Each structure stands twice: as C-alpha cells, then as structure tokens.
C-alpha cells in the first residue's frame, strides 16, 4: 500500500490544531500537515549513520510524537553506489509504523549527487532532475511525491532550465508540489515566475542568518520557509549554549526548564508564521525533544533578548 492508497482522509476540521506550516493552513498545494517541526532524515544515512534498526526506531519515535513531515533526498547516502538509501529507510519506516502512515508528508530532493568516493556534486540538467524524481517516487512507493525540491542550483546549468524540470514533473503527475533549496532571493523570484513555489528550504539558525531576506521573500509570497540545520548542524547541536552565539538561548532555556535546542527552535518558529524547521536526529530522544519546542511559548521580552544572539554565518 502506498502512502496515498489507504482510503483514509486527513481530518481538515482540526487543521488549526494541527498547526500546518504555512499561514493558509497548507504546506504546499493542498498538503495539510501536522506541526511546524519535521524530521530531517539526512543523519540516518550519511557518515556516522546509525544502524537501520535504530534509524527506523528514530523515525517511528518522530511519528509517535506527532511529526508528519519528513525531509529526505536521493543524495543522502554514503557514496553514489548507495544513492537512495535515506528514501528507502523513510519508506520502510512509514510502511512498518503502527499509525496512520498516509498522514506523513515526505519531501525529497534531486539535483545533488554523490560520486563513488562520497564527494558531493550538482547536476541540474533537466533530464537528470526528471529521471531522479521518477527514481525517488519508486523508492518512496508513492503515486506522486508530495513535495519535491530542486536540491541546489547547478552553476553549469541555467537555473530556469533546472526549474523547468519541476514544471514537467508537475505536468506528468510525478510530484504534487515543488520547492527550491539553497537559493537566493533572485533565484527564488525567477523560479516563481515559471512555477508555483510551495516551499523554500535554506540553512537558517542562530549561527547562520544569511537567509533573512529569503524568509522575507517567502512572507511576501506566502511560501513556506523550511530551515535546514536549524540547530547549527550536527557538530554544533551537541554544544548549544556553550558559545557566545547561543548563551542567551541557554539562559532562556533554564528559565523554562527546557533544552537549549527547544528554545532555538521555538525562536525560529516565532520569526514568522511561514517558518518551519527540520532538525536532524539519530536517536529517538533527539527528535522527541525537538518536537516539544512547538508548545514552548517565548515572551516578547525573551524574543527581544534572543534577537541579538545570532550571527551572519
């Protein structure tokens, strides 16, 4: 059974309670999802990845905690020979979960590739993006991918040509909604001229505020902004609060008896109604902690105190 073949319908009468990412209650076109915190599944398949069993347990813990948005990509793997590992894990976790798997919205990406030695490269050729999306659809076992991103602009290919592949994928019903990732305002605007952009995914955290203008663009366009590496990436996430950039976040966390990670995520969600985040996790406890940030309310005074806590990368 695929994610969209169970016959169960999403209960839109409680959409407000489910706190969908975008201000109009949707994540992409007609894709109501639950919560503004998703799971960034990348750490489950890249260097230092846990066992498949622990990865599945982490995904199940996320679903049990209410996560209904999982972010993956075909390039989340060790080498080119391992392409699609993360997507296969996500599909396996949804299929084996005891809950309503059809509610989980999976976002995946194409246009970023791994070589035989594990190096990262871009391939934004339209024919590659189209082929990659079709392969992702098969691995995810869905009729159409709920949300598909162009992973990263390819400097060797005109950006509008890569985005044109997203138009083709929509027309061919390979995907249901499209997004762009790692882009500038100028690139986002050029993409929006030829396709409905449902989401933009860029790095954003107290350590990296370089996408502030992109967030503002998303607000003007009513486009969902999804922050990747919202805790600063795996090397920084475990040391939150131990450096000048996040001292204030740790102090607020103590006042709330919360983790510093929860305060960082709550701060990010408070930036705009259109912001969401996909913190990574390798253990069930990590994603459960992150999800708790959705119920953490920061005062205006606390937000003002944290406003000076970030840097420009």
Taking each continuous run of H as one helix and of E as one strand, the counts in the chain are 12, 10
Q: Is 76 a catalytic residue?
A: yes
Residues 6 or more apart whose CB falls under 8 angstroms from that of 61 comprise 284, 285, 287, 288
> CA-to-CA distance for 12 and 43, rounded, in angstroms?
32
CA separation for the pair 35, 15 (Å, rounded)? 10
Q: What is the DSSP string of 257-273?
A: T--HHHHHHHHHHHT-T
Decide the pairing of beta strands 178-181 and 197-203: parallel
DSSP 113: E
Given 10, 76, 148, 207, the catalytic residue: 76
31: CB partners within 8 A, 6+ apart: 105, 146, 147, 176, 177, 198
Q: Could you give the residue numbers annotated as active site? A: 76
């Amino acid at each position: 059974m695929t994610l969209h073949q169970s016959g169960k319908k999403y209960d839109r009468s409680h959409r407000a309670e489910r706190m969908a990412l975008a201000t109009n209650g949707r994540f992409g076109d007609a894709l109501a999802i639950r919560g503004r915190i998703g799971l960034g599944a990348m750490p489950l398949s890249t260097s230092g990845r846990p066992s498949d069993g622990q990865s599945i347990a982490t995904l199940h813990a996320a679903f049990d905690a209410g996560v209904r948005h999982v972010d993956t990509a075909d390039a989340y793997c060790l080498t080119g020979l391992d392409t699609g590992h993360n997507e296969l894990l996500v599909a396996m976790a949804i299929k084996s979960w005891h809950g309503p798997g059809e509610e989980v919205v999976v976002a995946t990406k194409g246009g970023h590739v791994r070589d035989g030695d594990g190096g990262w490269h871009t391939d934004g050729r339209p024919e590659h993006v189209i082929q990659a999306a079709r392969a992702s659809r098969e691995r995810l076992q869905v009729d159409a991918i709920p949300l598909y991103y162009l992973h990263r602009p390819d400097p060797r290919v005109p950006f509008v040509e890569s985005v044109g592949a997203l138009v083709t994928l929509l027309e061919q019903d390979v995907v249901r909604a499209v997004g762009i990732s790692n882009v500038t305002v100028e690139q986002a605007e050029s993409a929006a001229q030829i396709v409905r952009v449902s989401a933009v995914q860029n790095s954003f955290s107290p350590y990296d505020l370089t996408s502030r203008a992109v967030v503002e663009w998303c607000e003007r366009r009513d486009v969902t902004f999804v922050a990747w590496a919202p805790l600063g990436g795996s090397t920084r996430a475990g040391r939150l609060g131990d450096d000048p950039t996040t001292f204030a976040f740790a102090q607020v966390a103590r006042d709330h008896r919360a983790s510093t990670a929860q305060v960082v995520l709550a701060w990010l969600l408070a930036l705009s109604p259109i912001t969401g985040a996909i913190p990574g996790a390798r253990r069930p406890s990590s994603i459960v902690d992150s999800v708790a940030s959705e119920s953490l309310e920061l005062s205006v005074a606390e937000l003002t105190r944290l406003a000076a806590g970030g840097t420009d990368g």
